[in-house]
Amino acid sequence: MRATIIAKPGDIRVENVSDPSMVQPTDAILRIVATCVCGSDLWDYRGINPVDEPHPIGHEYLGVVEEVGDEVANIKPGQYVIGSFFASDNTCPNCRAGYHTSCLHREFVGGAQAERLRVPLADGTLVALPEEPCEEQVASLLACSDVMGTGWYAAVAAEVKPGATVAVVGDGAVGLCGVIAAKKLGAGRIIAMSRHASRQALALEFGATDIVTERGEEGIARIRELTDGVGADSVLECVGTAESMQQALRSTRPGGNVGFVGVPHDVQIDGQELFYSHVALRGGPAPVRAVLPELIDHVLAGRINPGKVFDLTLPLDQAAEAYRAMDERRAIKVLLRP
């Protein structure tokens, strides 16, 4: 099959590799219908995460089940399915608490930018669609696999409440999906921090009420100005740098909440500053599986349309161009069709 390989930072290739095969009787093999490039893939592409040896890449997928292991009871060949980037058993204490990405048996699902994919713990990981999705639904359903689920978790972790004032740090696909989530959870005011016209437009379309273009101290001051001098009730940190974390923490009112979903890179939080801020902080890899059924319902009913974050679609063989377009910020997010 054809699969996307990161050979080294900046070097993406689509190569012929062996088809995946069953490893455990709880596995499923999917034929990928749609996949995409994640902001977190760029950490590798840019060499910020080490790339020790060439390896398959990608972790977002919508696919058709081709084969299931003997111990898979609920997922059947022929079903259209979506899953998260972490396989989970959906039965351990952490899954039962809704934190599937802390599943005691979690396993990273890698290599999704390919024609086929092995998914471990298929029964716990995959959610089947009621039928074959129509072409217009594919992008929004694919978004649920990661960015929409992650934006949703950011809003939940930031405890967005009806009527609340929410600020979103980061105008990537996750931040934009965070705007959708905040809106759906009833936020009264949604401040999107963005300097890019096309992303500002999408944020407004998704429900943002204010755009803040300033950053750093000026950005913090602007948010305080918009929020009675005290800061936002809930802030979604969707980047993962020391600067964005500081932006988020200092833009939140005492008693407010930050939800952080950008994987932190060189982020240290000063205990005393956090203490005196009275701000609560919860982050983590989004437990997408917990909300997948709900998100799929919203998409199929047309209540949310996160697929709009894909502003470029390419055939799988052009994966290298997909990475370049995102790296150069020519595209928000690129969908790949095998």
Shortest Cβ distance from residue 217 to its own copies (Å)? 19
Report whether 74 contacts 126 (CB < 8 A). no
Which residues have a Cβ under 8 Å from the Cβ of 73 and sit 6 or more positions away? 123
Question: Which CB atom, from 83 or from 240, has the smaller least distance to its own copies?
Answer: 240
Shortest Cβ distance from residue 28 to its own copies (Å)? 25
Using alpha carbons only, how large is the chain's radius of gyration in Å? 19
Contacts with its own copies by CB under 8 A lie at 93-94, 97-99, 101-102, 104, 157, 228-230, 242, 245, 253-255, 260, 263-272, 274-285, 287
Host H or E run for residue 295:
helix 288-300
Question: Which CB atom, from 18 or from 272, has the smaller least distance to its own copies?
Answer: 272
CA distance 202 to 219: 20
Shortest Cβ distance from residue 76 to its own copies (Å)? 31
Shortest Cβ distance from residue 338 to its own copies (Å)? 31
Shortest Cβ distance from residue 275 to its own copies (Å)? 5
Q: Which of 158, 169, 152, 138 is nearest to 60 (CA)?
A: 138
Question: Which CB atom, from 281 or from 332, has the smaller least distance to its own copies?
Answer: 281
CA distance 174 to 176: 5
Question: Which CB atom, from 106 or from 118, has the smaller least distance to its own copies?
Answer: 106
Question: Which CB atom, from 276 or from 315, has the smaller least distance to its own copies?
Answer: 276
β-pairing verdict for 333-337 and 310-315: parallel
Which residues have a Cβ under 8 Å from the Cβ of 205 and sit 6 or more positions away? 308
